[in-house]
């Protein structure tokens, strides 16, 4: 069992798009060494909530967040919080693989370069190699680092995006349905990877697939209509849900 | 005069035919399915049969009758003492024809005055023949059309076929225009190259166009200074102004401005594109050029000219800003949102995202936009006509007066000149060069844009 | 490995530098757009300052004269109206019909159809002076139509405007959903009827918007008309489309060439009149677009 350490504490979070409330009073803990899964039907707010954790919702006009989200005890919506630093510490992997139209090497080197994490070329090479190894992609691409990242297969692209996120040594990695655009074999590889990564990082994964949540996560939060219906140890949620709605969703009665 | 009358009569006949055929069709109507088309389609079918052949006949007559008129005039005894020399004779005939139409005008040549009466008589006679032919055709067409109004006649299908033919002809106008441009430019350029070798024209550095044909002509028709001036003003100075300002405006509008700001700033910027070029030209000549001259004088230039490449180029650049901006705007907007999110999610600032991800990804589109902008700038006429000057010189000093291809075309073709002097012909050669270059820029740019769009679809 | 390197002073300094760069970049964008708009304001202000005093009833109703105090803009304005009339009468029907054909009836993938499309796209980008050369070579030297006349000017500008109308017309027709066509066809209308009775009326606002924008461009055009000699000194307004005439931008050009300083006011005043007309046309286009914009 890996060491568990509380990383993000979200308390009574409300999110509004203009006048419309998208998230209603959500409180969740996210810890290092643990994979936390957000499940729920489409439009339940799970992706919206995920984006509030590294303030990617800032890019959406008219979006407003209330309540408190603390990273290592520091409120990420406080005025002193630098969103650049926050996003470097809380990385994100998107639903559709989105490598930059640059070489594989440059995709991974992008983050360290803008944050100034590598002193010289050798450092950078080391960071790129380490990140690609951790993302399980090194052996496949080590001979063609100069090729375009967009030329890779979908599964490889997604692992490249994970490597890109890892390269800036984040503390948390948010994954927004990372396998929804992938075939089952690529999905299996990503799931293995998530299992390997959880030792070093706090991982949050939004997923449509309850099987995936059951396979990869240790904690699960079930979102419905903008609220968290149930949050707890994954095994409990799937085998012994406390709430009727959770049971209905898990047994496939809706969603 | 008689033309309008004939057209009116034919149209009137057509309308009458429309009613007649519709009435006949209505009389035939005995209930559902008894006619193959509703009565009004029979009317339209009839109208087409009356109008189209008659107008065609009138048009053909308009094409051949001048020859016939001329023959008839020359055969007239009054024309017997006309000079045998073609050009002189034609001049008198043309004048007589003018006088025939406008009796109040004073005659220049007394012979024309005598002929005017004869010419008027003959022209009227032939016009009457044509009108009669057209009317006859209209009646014949109408009679034929009327007999076709029968129960089983597919009037609608016929009318629709005619409609489709019209549509087809309309869309062929575009090809005709392109062909017209190419043929007229190539033909006149061919005439020009009979006197001046293309090599002299394209590589010579001395430009002093003149009339009169002689063996030395090539030395005075070297267009390189024109090409240089065009590129220096349109592709260098204007772009130095337009690219940074247009690109940064687009970046600000797409990435930084709030929705309200964008709503006001974008149309405001587009006003710049809607101002006529003659206004820019006037502003360049009246306001910008003196400023530039004073600046040059302050910099220590001796006798700076009022007309300068810089004044024309800067104003042209401002004119192009909205164009560059909207092309860049489109290209940046075509980069998937996911790219931007990917970069921001790693902690990149907005400007880092723009500089390192968005602009590189949008580069093909932006380059294509710049090529289109250059093609516009080098084809722009009024600004350079009013502000750049006539001096053909190879200079890299932006304070110098310089001339461009478009300026010279205007210069060579305005004023009344012999149409086939080397001066006027050279204008078409310049036009051909301009056409080929802008066409090439456009084709390449559209290819790049298309490929780039496909890459993100 | 808990990442605390973000607290290191060097890292914090770097962050501050990056944020400063961010602010500089944003300011640069604002400066770019402000520069462009300031230039526009400067231009408009100059014209208003010089020209506003010259606009009175006599100026709006008079024709050109060698005396700056008598010279007016009406002669040129009437030339513009006649020329635009010819342009509209030719380019609108031809443009709309061509757009209908290309969008609805043209056989797909035929070589000649591609040629038509390529021609239209390229004509839209050909420098206007080239159209002037075409007008000079074909309309005047081959067809012997009257030089300097609104007829030739209008025909030349029509060739220039037609591609604009075809392109906007095709977009407007494309925007009408196929379900409308299907509905018409399903009640037994022929394809021609479906298009002329249903699709075209729905596309008309879009086509009109494009037409107005094309006409506004034609109204401001000078270079091609120089080629066909529409720079006559017109002391009396032209009576018909075959009389020698001038147009408003040409009047501006001619006055700007006058040595007499008094013409500066006339030039600027004519520019104001022209700009007001153009803005009215563009405003009308925007109004039409907003009023009839339909989301299907």
Is A171 in the C-facing interface, judged by CB distances under 8 Å? yes
* C-alpha to C-alpha distance for C282 and C291, rounded to whole angstroms: 14
Q: Is C20 on the interface with A (CB under 8 A)?
A: no
Poorest-pLDDT segment among B7-16, B131-140, C226-235: C226-235
CA dist., res. B130 & res. B57, Å (int)? 8
Distance, in Å, from the CA atom of A76 to the CA atom of A69, rounded to the nearest integer, reads 6
Measured CA to CA in angstroms, residue A155 lies from A36, A187, B49 at distances of 22, 7, 68
- State what percent of residues in chain C have pLDDT above 70: 97
Among all residues of chain C, which has the CA nearest to that of A117? C11
d(CA B372, CA B366): 10
So what's the pLDDT on residue A143? 94
Chain A residues close to C3, C-beta within 8 Å: 89, 169-171
Q: How far is residue B189's CA from residue B193's CA, in Å, rounded to a whole number?
A: 6
Distance of CA B401 to the CA centre of its chain: 28
Chain B neighbours, 3+ Cβ pairs < 8 A:
A, C
The pLDDT score that the predictor gives to residue B85 is: 66
**Of A215, A192, C132, C27, nearest to B248 (Cα)?**
C27
Among B219, B401, B202, B239, residue whose Cα is nearest residue B321 = B239
Whole-number Å distance between alpha carbons of B54 and B10: 7
Q: Nearest residue of A to residue C19 by CA position?
A: A84
At C2 the pLDDT is 41
- Provide the 3-class DSSP secondary structure of residue A92: strand
Which chain A residue is nearest to residue B350, measuring alpha carbons?
A84
B1-5, B170-174, B359-363, C194-198: range with lowest mean pLDDT? B1-5
Q: Which of A9-13, B22-26, B281-285 has the lowest mean pLDDT?
A: B22-26
Contact A175, A206 (CB under 8 A): yes
Q: List the alpha helices (DSSP H) in chain A.
A: 46-52, 83-89, 104-115, 121-134, 138-141, 154-166, 184-197, 210-216, 234-239, 244-250
In this complex, the residue of C30, C275, C282 whose CB is nearest that of residue B252 is: C30
| A200 to C1: CB separation less than 8 angstroms, yes or no | yes
For residue A87, give the nearest of B338, B346, B356 by CB distance. Answer: B346
Query: What is the residue-wise DSSP string for chain C?
Result: ----GGGSHHHHHHHHHHHHHHHHHHHHHHHHHHHHHHHHHHHHHHHHHHHGGG-SHHHHH----SSTTT--SHHHHHHHHHHHHHHHHHHHHHHHHHHHIIIIISPTT-HHHHHHHHHHHHHTTS-HHHHHHHIIIIIIIIT-PPTT-HHHHHHHHHHHHHHHHHHHHHHHHHHS-HHHHHHHHHTT--HHHIIIIIIHHHHHHHHHHHHHHHHHHHHT--HHHHHTT-----SS---STTS----HHHHHHHHHT-SSTTHHHHHHHHHHHHHHHHHHHHHHHHHHHHHH----
Write out pLDDT tens, residues A138-157: 999 999 999 999 899 999 99
| pLDDT level of residue A3 (50, 70, 90 thresholds) | low
* Partner A contacted by C11 (CB < 8 A): yes
d(CA B253, CA C32): 11
Chain C nearest-CA distance from A96, in A, is: 28
Strands A5-17 and A20-32: antiparallel
Contact C3 A82 (CB under 8 A): no
Contact of A226 with chain C, judged by CB distance below 8 Å, is answered with no
What domains, with CATH codes, occur in chain B? 2-153 (no CATH), 217-456 (1.10.3720.10)
Decide if B342 and A114 are in contact by the 8 Å CB cutoff. Answer: no
Chain A partners of C4 at a C-beta cutoff of 8 Å?
A: none
Point out the residue among A56, A100, A101 whose CB comes nearest to the CB of B345.
Answer: A56
Q: Map residue A255 onto helix, strand or coil.
A: coil
Where do the H-state alpha helices sit in A70-209? 83-89, 104-115, 121-134, 138-141, 154-166, 184-197
Comparing C-alpha atoms, which of B422, B382, B389, B436 is closest to residue B225?
A: B389
d(CA A25, CA A38): 15
Separation CA A207–CA A162 (nearest Å) = 16
Q: How many CB atoms lie within 10 A of CB A239?
A: 10
**Set of chain C residues whose Cβ sits within 8 Å of the Cβ of A89:** 3, 6
* A168·B348 Cβ contact <8 A: no
Contact list in B for residue C35 (CB cut-off 8 A) is 245
- Within a 10 A sphere around the Cβ of B238, how many other Cβ atoms? 29
Q: From chain B, pick out residues whose CB is under 8 angstroms from the CB of C129.
A: 379, 381, 406, 409-410, 431, 434
- Chain A: residue whose CA lies nearest to B348: A84
CA distance B215 to B217: 6
Is pLDDT above 60 for C206? Answer: yes
Name residues 208-247 of chain B within 8 A of C (Cβ): 244-247
Going edge to edge, which strands form the sheet with A5-17? Answer: A20-32, A5-17, A63-71, A74-75
Instruction: Find, among B390, B423, B432, B431, the residue nearest to B407 by Cα.
Output: B390
Residue C146's pLDDT band, with cuts at 50, 70 and 90, is confident
| CB contact A96 to C (< 8 Å) | no
Cα separation, B133 vs B140, in Å, equals 10
Contact C214, C161 (CB under 8 A): yes
- Contact: A85, C6; criterion CB under 8 Å: yes
The answer to whether the CB of C272 falls within 8 A of the CB of C51 is yes
* Burial classification of residue B194, based on how many CB atoms lie within 10 Å of its CB (0-12 exposed, 13-18 middle, 19 or more buried): exposed
- State the pLDDT at residue C79: 92
C-alpha to C-alpha distance for C68 and B273, rounded to whole angstroms: 30
- At B100, the pLDDT band (50, 70, 90 cuts) reads confident
Contacting chains of A (3 CB pairs or more, <8 Å) are B, C
How far off is chain C from B335, nearest CA to CA, in Å? 19
Cβ <8 Å between A101 and B349 = no
* Residue B428 touches partner C, C-beta closer than 8 Å: yes
The HSE-up count of residue C123 (CA atoms within 13 Å, CB side) is 33
Phi, psi of B32 (to 5 degrees): -55, 130
Give the helix/strand (H/E) hosting A37: strand A35-39
Please report, for residues A56, A188, A204, B14, the alpha-carbon distance to residue A47 in angstroms, rounded to integers and kept in the order given.
Answer: 11, 22, 11, 69
A contacts of B338 (beta carbons < 8 Å): 94, 96, 98
Average pLDDT over residues B254-264: 91
Q: Is A5 helix (H, G, I), strand (E, B) or coil?
A: strand
The answer on pLDDT for B106 being more than 80 is no
Using CB atoms, pick whichever of C1, C3, C15 lies closest to residue A82.
C15
Which residues make beta-bridge pairs with A221? Answer: A38, A231
Chains that touch C (3 or more CB pairs under 8 A): A, B
Tens digit of each residue's pLDDT (9 = 90 or more) over C77-123: 999 999 999 999 999 999 999 999 999 998 888 888 888 988 898 89
Residues 6+ away with beta carbon under 8 Å from C38: none
What is the predicted pLDDT for the residue at C296?
56
Quick one: pLDDT at residue C1? Answer: 37
Cβ–Cβ below 8 Å for B275 and C138: no
Kindly report the nearest CA distance between residue B441 and chain A, in angstroms.
26
Q: Count A/C contacts: CB-CB distance under 8 Å.
A: 20
The span from the CA of B421 to the CA of B191, in Å, is 10
Query: Which residues of C fall within a CB distance of 8 Å from A85?
Result: 6, 15
Q: Is C15 at the interface with chain A, CB within 8 A?
A: yes
Chain A contact set for B361 (CB, 8 A): 100-101
The CB density around residue A63, as the number of other CB atoms within 10 Å, is 18
Comparing B417 with C194, which gets the higher pLDDT? C194
Q: Which residues of B touch A110 (CB under 8 A)?
A: 343, 346, 348, 356-357
Residues of A in contact with C2 (CB under 8 A): 171
Residue of C42, C126, C192 with shortest CB distance to B435: C126
Task: Indicate if the pLDDT at residue C38 is higher than 90.
Answer: yes
Q: What is the mean pLDDT of residues B295-317?
A: 86
What is the DSSP track for B348-365? --HHHHIIIIIHHHHHHH
C-beta separation of A99 from A111 below 8 A: no
> Which residue of chain B comes nearest to A169, CA vs CA?
B346
Would you call C296 an interface residue with chain A, using a CB distance cutoff of 8 Å?
A: no
Shortest CA gap B168–chain C (Å) = 6
Mean pLDDT, chain C, whole residue set: 89
Q: Is A89 in contact with C2 (Cβ distance < 8 A)? A: no
Interface check C6 vs A, CB under 8 A: yes
Indicate whether B418 pLDDT > 70: no
Burial letters B412-444, b for 16+ CB under 10 A, else e: bbeeeeeeebbbbbbbbbbbbbbbebbbebbee
CB spacing of C36 vs B428 below 8 angstroms: no
What pLDDT does residue B419 have? 64
Quick: pLDDT tens for C248-294.
999 999 998 887 778 888 899 999 999 999 999 988 888 888 887 66
Does the distance separating the beta carbons of A168 and B347 come in below 8 Å? yes
Tell me which chain C residues have a C-beta less than 8 angstroms from the C-beta of B184: 133-134, 137-138
Please name each of the domains of chain A with its CATH number. 5-97+171-250 (3.40.50.300)
Phi-psi region of A62 (alpha: psi -120 to 50; beta: other; left: phi over 0): left
Distance CA C192, CA C185 (A): 10
> How many distinct helices (H) and strands (E) make up chain A?
10, 10
CA distances from B213 to B192, B415, B421 (A): 10, 20, 8
| C-alpha distance from C97 to closest chain B C-alpha (Å) | 5
Chain C, nearest residue to A118 by Cα: C11
Q: In DSSP terms, which residues pair with B215 in a beta bridge?
A: none
The ipTM assigned to this model is 0.92
Question: Residue B348 is nearest to which of A59, A98, A114, comparing CB atoms?
Answer: A114
């Amino acid at each position: 069992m890996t060491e568990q350490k509380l990383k993000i504490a979200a308390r009574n979070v409300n999110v509004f798009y203009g006048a419309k409330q998208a998230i209603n009073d959500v409180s969740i803990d996210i810890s290092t060494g643990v994979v936390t899964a957000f499940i729920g039907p489409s439009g339940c707010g799970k992706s919206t909530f995920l984006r509030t954790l590294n303030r990617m919702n800032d890019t959406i006009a008219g979006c407003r967040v209330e309540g408190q989200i603390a990273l290592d005890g520091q409120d990420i919506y406080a005025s002193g919080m630098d969103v650049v630093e926050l996003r470097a510490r809380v990385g994100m992997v998107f639903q559709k693989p989105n490598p930059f139209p640059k070489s594989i090497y440059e995709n991974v080197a992008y983050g360290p370069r803008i944050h100034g994490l590598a002193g010289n070329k050798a450092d950078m090479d080391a960071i790129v190699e380490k990140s690609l190894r951790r993302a399980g992609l090194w052996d496949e691409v080590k001979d063609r680092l100069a090729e375009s990242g967009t030329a890779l297969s979908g599964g490889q692209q997604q692992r490249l995006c994970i490597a890109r996120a890892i390269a800036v040594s984040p503390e948390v990695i948010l994954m927004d349905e990372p396998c929804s655009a992938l075939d089952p074999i690529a999905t299996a590889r990503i799931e293995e990877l998530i299992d390997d990564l959880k030792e070093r990082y706090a991982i949050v994964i939004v997923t449509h697939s309850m099987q995936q949540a059951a396979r990869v996560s240790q904690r699960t939060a079930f979102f419905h209509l903008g609220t968290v219906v149930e949050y707890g140890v994954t095994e409990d949620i799937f085998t012994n849900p406390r709430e009727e709605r959770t049971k209905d969703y898990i047994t496939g009665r809706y969603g | 005069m008689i033309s309008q009358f004939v057209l009116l009569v034919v149209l009137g006949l057509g309308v009458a035919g429309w009613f007649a055929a519709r009435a006949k069709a209505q009389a035939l109507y005995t209930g559902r399915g008894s006619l193959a088309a509703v009565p009004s389609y029979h009317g339209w079918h009839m109208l087409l049969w009356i109008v189209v052949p008659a107008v065609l006949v009138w048009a053909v007559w308009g094409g051949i009758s001048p020859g016939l008129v001329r023959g008839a005039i020359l055969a007239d005894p009054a024309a017997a003492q006309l000079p045998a020399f073609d050009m002189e004779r034609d001049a008198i005939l043309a004048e007589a024809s003018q006088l025939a139409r406008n009796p109040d005008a004073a005659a220049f040549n007394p012979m024309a005055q005598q002929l005017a009466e004869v010419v008027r008589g003959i022209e009227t006679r032939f016009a009457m023949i044509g009108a009669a032919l057209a009317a006859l055709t209209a009646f014949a067409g109408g009679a034929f059309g009327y007999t076709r109004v029968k129960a089983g006649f597919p009037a609608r299908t016929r009318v629709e076929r005619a409609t489709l033919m019209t549509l087809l002809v309309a869309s062929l106008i575009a090809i005709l225009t392109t062909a017209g441009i190419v043929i007229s430019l190539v033909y006149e350029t061919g005439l020009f190259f009979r006197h001046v070798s293309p090599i002299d024209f394209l590589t010579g550095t001395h430009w002093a166009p003149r009339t009169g044909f002689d063996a030395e002509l090539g030395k005075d028709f070297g267009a390189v200074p024109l090409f240089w001036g065009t590129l220096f003003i349109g592709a260098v100075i204007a772009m130095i102004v337009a690219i940074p300002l247009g690109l940064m405006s687009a970046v600000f509008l797409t990435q930084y401005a709030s929705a309200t700001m964008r709503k006001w700033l974008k149309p405001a910027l587009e006003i710049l594109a809607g101002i006529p070029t003659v206004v820019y030209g006037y502003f360049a000549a009246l306001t910008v050029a003196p400023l530039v001259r004073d600046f040059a004088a302050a910099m220590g230039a001796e006798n700076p000219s009022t007309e300068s490449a810089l004044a024309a180029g800067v104003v042209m650049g401002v004119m192009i800003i909205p164009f560059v901006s909207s092309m860049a705007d489109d290209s940046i907007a075509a980069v998937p949102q996911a790219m931007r999110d990917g970069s921001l999610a790693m902690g990149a600032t907005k400007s880092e995202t723009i500089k390192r991800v968005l602009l590189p990804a949008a580069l093909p589109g932006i380059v294509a936009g710049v090529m289109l902008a250059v093609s516009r700038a080098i084809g722009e006429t009024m600004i350079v006509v009013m502000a750049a000057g006539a001096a053909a010189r190879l200079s890299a000093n932006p304070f110098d007066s310089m001339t461009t291809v478009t300026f010279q075309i205007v210069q060579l073709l305005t004023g009344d000149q012999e149409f086939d002097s080397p001066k006027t012909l050279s204008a078409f050669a310049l036009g051909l060069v301009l056409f080929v270059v802008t066409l090439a820029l456009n084709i390449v740019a559209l290819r790049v844009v298309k490929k780039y769009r496909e890459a993100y679809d | 490995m808990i990442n605390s390197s973000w607290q290191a002073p060097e890292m914090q300094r770097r962050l501050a530098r990056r944020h400063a760069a961010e602010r500089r970049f944003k300011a640069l964008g604002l400066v770019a757009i402000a520069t462009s708009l300031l230039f526009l304001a400067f231009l408009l202000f100059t014209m208003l300052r010089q020209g506003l005093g010259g606009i009175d009833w006599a100026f709006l109703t008079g024709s050109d004269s060698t005396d700056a105090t008598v010279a007016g803009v009406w002669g040129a304005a009437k030339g513009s109206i006649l020329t635009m009339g010819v342009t509209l009468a030719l380019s609108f029907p031809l443009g709309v019909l061509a757009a209908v054909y290309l969008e609805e009836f043209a056989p797909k993938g035929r070589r000649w159809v591609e040629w038509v499309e390529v021609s239209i796209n390229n004509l839209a980008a050909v420098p206007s002076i080239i159209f002037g050369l075409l007008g000079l070579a074909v309309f005047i030297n081959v067809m012997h139509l009257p030089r300097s006349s609104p007829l030739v000017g209008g025909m030349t500008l029509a060739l220039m405007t037609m591609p604009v109308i075809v392109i906007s017309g095709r977009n407007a027709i494309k925007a009408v959903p196929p379900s409308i066509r299907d509905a018409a066809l399903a009640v037994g209308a022929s394809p021609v009827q479906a298009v002329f009775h249903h699709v075209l009326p729905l596309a008309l606002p879009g086509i009109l918007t494009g037409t107005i924008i094309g006409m506004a461009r034609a109204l401001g055009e000078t270079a091609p008309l120089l080629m066909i000699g529409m720079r006559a000194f017109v002391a009396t307004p032209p009576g018909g489309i075959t009389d020698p005439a001038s147009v408003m931008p040409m009047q501006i050009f001619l006055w700007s060439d006058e040595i007499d300083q008094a013409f500066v006011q006339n030039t600027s005043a004519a520019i104001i009149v022209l700009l007001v007309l153009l803005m009215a046309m563009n405003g009308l286009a925007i109004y039409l677009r907003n009023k009839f914009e339909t989301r299907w």
